[in-house]
Amino acid sequence: MPYLFKPYSRTLSGLVLLLFVFGCSSQVAPTNGVTSKTGPENQTTPSVEQAKPFLSFQDDAGRTVTLRSKPQKIVVLSPQLLDLLYAVDGSAIAKTVASGGTAVPEKAKNIADVGGITTVNMEKLLSLQPDLVIGSTSFHRDFANILDSSKIPFAVFTLSTYKDLKEKTPLFGKIAGSENKASEELANLDKKITALTDKLPDKSPSFIMLNVTPSSVSVQRTNTVGLEVAKMLNMKNVAETLEALQSSQSTAPYSMEKLVELNPDYVFILIHGARAEGEKKIQTDLAAQPAWASLRAVKENRMSILPSDLLLSNPGFRLNESVDYLAKLVYPEIYGNGNGSK
């Protein structure tokens, strides 16, 4: 009888061994963030943690920008946006050359240059192999195709007003990995501005803000940092209802006849580009006109050339300095004297 069961016992033992080996081979534990699937294909897919990008956002051109990991080699093509990035403890490997007196963050002075804001050297930019390029909606939209084809994430932003600054700062904090710093900077700036505006008198003086370039004069109508600062100081913009230029909703055409008709309490001038060229334009197109002397603001010495770095370009977290500067011009009895000629 024992003899009859020996072949069967060997067969049963072999079957158990095969089942044990098959069971072990079909239950391989996932390693290195990769999940294995059972089945004939034996396919592998990335884990959810691996597939999730570092950050995805929409820029001011309506483009969705996805960063697979925290960017380490950022190129910034706008001085204002560069200043914002460094203000929230971010950094860049390259910038454009600043002009018009725009300050460069101390820590960014020695990074590479890739040309001017309107003359970017694309060959040099690409040679740096950046993992994010940040530009201005006004000057750099057309770079999208070439950067997309090179698989370089690209985003453009507008930074004209305090509202823009408050919207962009949290995003730049995320890009830099310093969201707490971004929140702190915004809170501190708001506190400084409030301390200034809390002292305002119960007045609403009128004003007009003129743009002067070497070739033209125009009127600021809406959505500029200078107008926003004036509004913080309870000033009334007499040009707000003027018809906008077709090329720019924020600007209206200049007319001496219209200026005399509006006759504001203050006339503020912002020079675009070289100051010497701008002053020549003011003399020939404004001061030399007989009607200019009849303006209330001119007769009462309330015409001022404003500093471009504070009231033309967005000064970022120096906006309280912009408010303070203009407050001293308009309400010297409260804020002290401003010179109006910076």
Domain boundary among 128, 160, 194: 194
Answer yes or no: do 173 and 246 share one domain.
no
Question: Concatenated DSSP letters for 206-245?
Answer: EEEEEEE-SS-EEEE-SS-HHHHHHHHTT-EETTTTSPPB
Average pLDDT, the chain: 86
**Residue 337: predicted pLDDT:** 77
Q: Are residues 84 and 117 in the same domain?
A: yes
> Could you say which of 145, 162, 194 is where a domain stops?
194
Question: Are residues 217 and 184 both part of a single domain?
Answer: no
Domain extent at residue 207:
200-335
State whether 183 and 149 are in the same domain: yes
Q: 140, 167, 194: which is the final residue of a domain?
A: 194
Give the Cα separation of 146 and 189 in Å (integer). Answer: 38
Per-residue confidence (pLDDT) for residue 338, from 0 to 100: 61
State the Cα–Cα distance between residues 256 and 83, nearest whole angstrom. 37
Number of domains in the chain: 2
Please give the pLDDT value at position 19: 37
Task: Give residue 49's pLDDT.
Answer: 52
Judge if 90 and 180 occupy the same domain: yes
Q: Summarize the confidence of residues 73-101 as an average pLDDT.
A: 92
Instruction: Give the predicted TM-score (pTM) of the model.
Output: 0.79
| Cβ 86 vs Cβ 107: under 8 Å | yes
Q: Would you say residue 229 lies in a domain?
A: yes
Determine the average pLDDT of the residues in 221-228.
95
pLDDT per position as a tens digit, 239-287 = 999 999 988 889 999 999 999 999 999 999 999 988 999 999 999 999 9
Same domain, residue pair 111 and 214: no
Give the pair of three-digit tokens for residue 73: 């080699």
- Cα separation, 207 vs 193, whole angstroms: 21
DSSP secondary structure string for all residues of 34-82: EEE--SSS--EEE-HHHHS-SEEEE-TTS-EEEESS--SSEEE--HHHH
Span 211-225, average pLDDT: 94
Q: How far apart are CA 293 and CA 284, in angstroms?
A: 13
Regarding whether 271 and 298 lie in a shared domain, the answer is yes
CA dist 124 and 230 (Å) reads 41
pLDDT digits (tens, 9 = 90+) for 127-164: 999 999 999 999 999 999 999 999 999 999 999 899 99
What phi and psi, each to the nearest 5 degrees, are found at residue 67?
A: -110, 115
CATH of the domain at 250: 3.40.50.1980
Residue 279 burial (CB count, 10 A): 15
- Residues 121 and 246 grouped into a single domain: no
